[in-house]
Chain A
């Protein structure tokens, strides 16, 4: 092999090694950070794994939000209109979180079948009105 050739082969080998390392790291990282989504019916059927980071989603059931008085623990039910499940979350809920709103909660199922959320996401939808009544809001806001 000519020196140029040799150099080129080295270069390509280095590139291949680098890219392979990057790709295998990427696959490993993907594998570790996959978050599967389950809807309440799947959770009810016992399909959701325990103690593994998953996401659940559905509509917050009207009247199901329970707050504790001295901690930031909130519990609420999420439904897919077929089954519902209870989600516990400690912390501050997003602005768009409200009854009747579709939400996604990230967290883990514990041994007793409760879902402990680490994060709750609510999406703002632009196409049509969020289900809050403007006038009702005004009334609510007017009361101290």
Chain B
């Protein structure tokens, strides 16, 4: 076969393979998401009232000493409803400590929501203005953080928590 024949036959394929490689390299990278700067660092300080007991203030120091999850949710957020059964499973069946961060919500609606769907949380922090959420770099609910006993952020997931996500994101960092 002549050179031009080879070119006609081969160029499109080569071009396509190059294209596919470039596309492949891009999969899973979302250029709009900035990597969380928090991972491996101390979690931001916070002092927040509890959802059910407004007069009681809980700070980051109060929660030190054990590994725990922070689950950011709001009664206004449908995805939080979807992931809720799994949060309950984490708390009830897997015996994990899950702290709720009720974010940009009202007490009335939050408590009504928990009455309807159940309350798997060990403690529920009430962040109606949303400043703690901002400190944690929360873009949208739900988001879930794993905090170590000394207050370091071990891992973070934004979006609906599922068993698969749990296995890939959090499972290998759990302390028994």
Contact = CB atoms under 8 A, between A and B. Distances in A.
Instruction: Consider the complex of A and B and state whether they touch directly, i.e. have CB atoms less than 8 Å apart.
Output: yes
A63 to B, nearest CB: 8
Nearest to A139: B106
B79 interface: yes
Nearest to A61: B134
Contacts of A123: 32
Interface residues of A, number: 27
Q: What DSSP secondary structure best describes chain B's contact surface?
A: loop
A128 B36 contact: no
Which of under 10, 10 to 19, 20 to 34, or 35 or more describes the interface residues of B? 20 to 34
B37 A129 contact: no
Contacts of A61: 134
A62 interface: yes
Contacts, number: 79
A133 B74 contact: yes
Contacts of A101: 139
Contacts of B33: 102
Contacts of A62: 130-131, 134
B141 A58 contact: no
Interface string A73-108: 000000011100000000000000001111010000
Interface of B: 32-34, 36-38, 74-80, 103-106, 109, 130-131, 133-134, 137-142, 158-160
